[in-house]
Amino acid sequence: MSNTLKILRHGPLMTIQDGGRYGFRAFGVSTSGAIDRASHAIANALVGNDREAATIEFALAGGVIEADEDVVIAVTGGACRIEIDGQSAPPWESHILLKGQKLEIGALRGAVWGYLAISGGISTAPVLGSRSTHLRTGLGGLDGRNLIAGDMLTLGATAALELRTLGLPWFRRPGAIRVVPGPQDNYFDRETWTTFTSAPFTVTTSRDRMAMVLDGPSLTAAKGHDIISDATVVGSIQVPGSGKPIVLSADGQTTGGYPKIATVASVDLARLAQLPSGQQFRFRAISADAAEDLFIDEKRRLDTVLESVCQPGAKRYWT
């Protein structure tokens, strides 16, 4: 008998996501997976799951769910009003959701992507090694689509109904979004490059799991807006003829024909994706080596935070 989670009310975009689908980009298959990997991993750690286990990712606001067995749940990603049968239940820590209780997840504040982890993890059938949903191609998740009211999701077994909390806080640093120039920065003249790295940009509402369209000064490629299609990565900043940059996200296509002025440093991918639409930010160029250093440091910081997960009331590192 496996546990089942039922969606009673759905938010604007809810999908099943795990650590991602690897090894198939050469066949045109996007990596997918949680857009904010750290928040996803922390949600899992709080309910005793493997850090890559499948969670429900929601955009802007969650919904209402219930389970047919007692489970442990945690919501991360941003600040958010959460209630269990009307009782307030803060994000970034775990809660017990008893059989039949209703978990209501409200709107995220100051963030765009939220994560609901449930003990045991969501155990829908993996596709090409991953449970992540890729909406455009209908791969993974639940029939490759977004979750809607009435959906039933099978869960893995809950090992123990234990509450957990973070012993160390997880925070996103403010500041410019760091980018590595290229691979086609040579398609743009010096003046355009200076504009790119100094003018304010915003993420528009044209955003989804595939890409974010930015608004800001128009960027013209001196050498034209067509390249021979080559590989893209998560974080590639493409500049089409419209002059409005497009940042590829977790579900972004694997190849593209627009020049890529820069690539978002991995350390700042989630921070950019979590920026509310309309909020201004700037880009700052750093070297690929420096971006790697930052990524490695960030991974260590995340490992430390994941290791700090402990039972409530246990001695905290910072006290």
Partner 1 sequence: MHNPPDINYPRIIRAGDRAVTVEFSSTIDEVSNRQVLALDTCLSTNPPAGMLETVPTYRSLTVIYDPQVVRGAAMATELGHRAALQASSDTGGRLFEFPILYGGEHAADLDDLARMKDLSVEDIIRLHLEAEYRVYMIGFSPGFAYLGGLPEILHTPRLAVPRQRIEAGAIGIGGQQSSISSLPGPSGWRFIGRTPAKLFDVRRDLPFLLKAGDRIRFRRISEDEANDLDRRVARGDIIVREIAA
Cβ closer to partner 1: 118 or 262?
262
**Residue 260 touching partner 1 (CB under 8 A):** yes
Helix (H) or strand (E) holding 46: helix 37-46
- What's the min distance (Å) between Cβ of 290 and partner 1? 9
Residue indicated by tokens 């803060």: 90
Cβ closer to partner 1: 239 or 291?
291
Binding test (CB under 8 A) with partner 1, winner from 296, 311, 314, 317:
296
* Of 246, 267, 262, 265, the residue nearest 203 (C-alpha): 246
**Residue 139 touching partner 1 (CB under 8 A):** yes
Of 91-99, 111-119, 233-241, 275-283, which segment contacts partner 1 by CB under 8 A? 233-241
C-alpha span between 94 and 164 (Å, rounded): 6
C-alpha span between 180 and 176 (Å, rounded): 13
SS3 of the chain: helix, strand, coil, percent, to 5: 15, 35, 50
Answer yes or no: are the C-beta atoms of 237 and 179 closer than 8 Å.
yes
Positive or negative torsion for Cα 169, 303, 236, 60: negative
**Residue 265 touching partner 1 (CB under 8 A):** yes
C-alpha span between 73 and 71 (Å, rounded): 6
Of 63-71, 72-80, 179-187, 206-214, which segment contacts partner 1 by CB under 8 A? 179-187
Beta bridge partners of 200: none
Cβ closer to partner 1: 1 or 26?
26
Binding test (CB under 8 A) with partner 1, winner from 152, 159, 176, 288:
288
- Number of chain residues interacting with partner 1 (CB under 8 A): 46
Backbone angles phi, psi at 254, to 5 degrees: -85, -20
Answer yes or no: are the C-beta atoms of 144 and 138 closer than 8 Å.
yes
Cβ closer to partner 1: 50 or 226?
226
**Residue 185 touching partner 1 (CB under 8 A):** yes
Binding test (CB under 8 A) with partner 1, winner from 86, 190, 313, 318:
190
Tell me which residues touch partner 1 (CB under 8 A). Answer: 22-29, 127-128, 136-139, 180-183, 185-186, 190, 193, 228-231, 233, 235-236, 253-255, 260, 263-266, 285, 288-289, 291-292, 294-296, 299
